[in-house]
């Protein structure tokens, strides 16, 4: 979606500022690696503190990171006076999340005035090889922010 025109030229600043306010991203150790109109990528390293019972990354952690990527992808296209919220999402887990690093990619599929549909992938990086381990289909909503 490289041809998409963001409604707010300062979209990247808005995304980065919001991302830094998410306590869970620091807990996970996730950082933003790409912020362009309609697409956002986040990344985090493996940690045992994020694992399920077999030592793989917990499905919910993958979900957290790819949800943020999808939400911020939607946010890049929203006017400045709006906030983004996840209405709902569905995730399929296709392979155990084994790897050194994990990258969540969120892309806008359809941007509307109120509702934005996003698709996301969670990619595990192990020994330099990439593998899609989970895929998300999400519905985001633009909510007008209240004046402070």
d(CA 30, CA 37): 20
- Rounded to the nearest whole angstrom, what is the least distance from the CB of residue 125 to a second copy in the complex? 18
Q: Is 53 in the site for a second copy (CB under 8 A)?
A: yes
DSSP 12: H
CB-wise, 5 or 49, nearer to a second copy? 49
- Rounded to the nearest whole angstrom, what is the least distance from the CB of residue 128 to a second copy in the complex? 21
CB-wise, 60 or 79, nearer to a second copy? 60
Single residue of 5, 92, 129, 148 touching a second copy by CB under 8 A = 92
HEC profile of 31-48? EEEEEECCEEEEEEECCH
Q: Is 36 in the site for a second copy (CB under 8 A)?
A: no
* CB neighbours of residue 48 within 10 Å: 7
101: its two tokens? 């690093």
Minimal CA–CA distance to 96: which of 144, 138, 46?
46
CB-wise, 34 or 83, nearer to a second copy? 83
Q: Is 26 in the site for a second copy (CB under 8 A)?
A: yes
Strands (E), the chain: 31-36, 39-45, 82-93, 101-111, 115-126, 129-144
Stretch of 2-10, 34-42, 58-66, 122-130 contacting a second copy, by CB under 8 A: 58-66
Strands 39-45 and 115-126: unpaired
- Contacts with a second copy, residue ranges (CB under 8 A): 18-19, 21-24, 26-27, 47-54, 58-61, 63-65, 67-68, 83, 85-95, 109-110, 112, 114-115, 117, 119, 132, 135, 137, 139, 141
């Amino acid at each position: 979606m490289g041809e998409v025109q963001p409604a707010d030229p300062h979209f990247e600043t808005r995304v980065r500022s919001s991302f830094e306010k998410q306590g869970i991203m620091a807990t996970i150790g996730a950082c933003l690696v790409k912020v362009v109109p309609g697409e956002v990528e986040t990344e985090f390293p493996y940690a045992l503190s994020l694992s399920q019972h077999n030592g793989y990354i917990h499905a919910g952690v993958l979900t957290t990171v790819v949800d943020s990527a999808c939400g911020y992808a939607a946010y890049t296209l929203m006017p400045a006076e709006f906030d983004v919220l996840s209405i709902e999402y569905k995730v399929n887990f296709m392979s155990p999340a084994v790897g050194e690093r994990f990258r969540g990619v969120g892309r806008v599929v359809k941007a509307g005035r109120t509702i934005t549909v996003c698709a996301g992938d969670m990619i595990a990086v192990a020994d330099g090889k990439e593998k899609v381990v989970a895929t998300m289909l999400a519905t985001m909503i633009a909510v007008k922010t209240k004046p402070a």
